[in-house]
Amino acid sequence: MSVDLAVFDKGDEVARETFALTRDHLVRYAGASGDFNPIHYRDDVAQQVGLEGVLAHGMLTMGLAVTPILTWLGESGTVRSYQVRFTKPVYVPADEGATLTSVATVMKPLEAESGELTLSLSVKTEAGDTVLGKAQVVVAAR
């Protein structure tokens, strides 16, 4: 499927996905990234430093958040830039895990000169907490 970036207007939702995160995901991410900080797998350590419990790696959260855009674009486009501000941690309880929903909407329609479309990304927990602020993704056709 090919996406025509020119057909989207400001406010259009282009992608949405919900992710279930478990402690197993955190362990796998730690192995892949080399980030073995115990706040990502030990409640006692996380609580000793003032956290509620184990939390997801920021880069894991950031990576999951952009996934629906990558799926939507497929081979028809590319991400030119991606920026976020971490606003709240994603706590991952041992028993039930955590759920994140990522929604991408058009912030700036396709700019003829640059060929870029700017998307706003909303990333929230199941409780409705926004975990990434000022999240923007700039995409362009290939």
Sequence-separated (6 or more) residues with CB below 8 Å from residue 50: none
List the domain boundaries for the chain. 5-141
The yes-or-no verdict on residue 1 having pLDDT over 80 is: no
Mean pLDDT of all residues in 29-45 = 97
Q: Mean pLDDT over all residues of the chain?
A: 97
pTM: 0.93
Q: 5-141: which CATH number, 3.40.1410.10, 3.40.50.2300, 3.40.50.300, 3.10.129.10? A: 3.10.129.10
pLDDT digits (tens, 9 = 90+) for 75-105: 999 999 999 999 999 999 999 999 999 999 9
The predicted structure's pLDDT at residue 2? 85
